[in-house]
């Protein structure tokens, strides 16, 4: 797969970053801050991916990982496919401090990209600008995909950054 399918991924990821900043800023204006969590991000991500013709599954059992016979399965937040484009996996994190625990996300994304040839795995981090603007998600495992997007609306300063897991063909 070449530049066309990467262009599709770049476009949709940029739209997700931009859309999340606007959506959460809107929710903050509605005084919904107490409800903020990773799950608030799911609906807009799902809507943007599907609007760009991706077929999307949320909480998808992670391919390439040994699943426990009982108990919780290891799941990807988003598994997105599109004809003539790369399959995408997205792990979303709502960051509430400058500390970021991504070990389990990295394990899932690495297993996914090994199991699904030509796929791309993304770690999406969302939070206040002060928490994410200097963040470096596992330099040895990730490279930032595109530029960060920040909604600096005086009181509300949210941002979104997306990192691509390394070890994949471009």
- Res 155 pLDDT > 80: no
- Tell me, what's the pLDDT at 170? 44
pLDDT at 153 over 90: no
165 in Cβ contact with 109 (< 8 Å): yes
Residue 5 has pLDDT above 60, yes or no: no
pTM: 0.91
pLDDT at 168 over 60: no
- Asked whether the predicted pLDDT for residue 63 surpasses 70, the reply is yes
Please give the average per-residue pLDDT across 81-94, as a whole number: 94
Q: Does the pLDDT at position 156 exceed 80?
A: no
């Amino acid at each position: 797969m070449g530049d066309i399918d990467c262009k599709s991924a770049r476009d949709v990821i940029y739209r997700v970053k931009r859309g999340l900043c606007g959506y959460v800023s809107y929710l903050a204006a509605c005084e919904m801050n107490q409800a903020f969590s990773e799950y608030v991000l799911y609906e807009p991500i799902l809507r943007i991916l599907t609007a760009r013709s991706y077929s999307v599954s949320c909480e998808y059992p992670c391919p390439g990982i040994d699943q426990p016979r009982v108990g919780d399965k290891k799941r990807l937040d988003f598994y997105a496919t599109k004809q003539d484009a790369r399959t995408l996996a997205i792990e979303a994190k709502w960051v509430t401090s400058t500390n970021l625990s991504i070990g389990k996300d990295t394990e899932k994304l690495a297993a996914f990209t090994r199991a699904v040839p030509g796929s791309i795995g993304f770690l999406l981090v969302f939070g206040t600008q002060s928490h994410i603007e200097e963040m470096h998600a596992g330099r040895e495992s990730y490279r930032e995909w595109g530029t960060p997007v920040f909604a600096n609306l005086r009181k509300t300063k949210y941002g979104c950054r997306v990192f691509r897991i390394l070890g994949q063909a471009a």
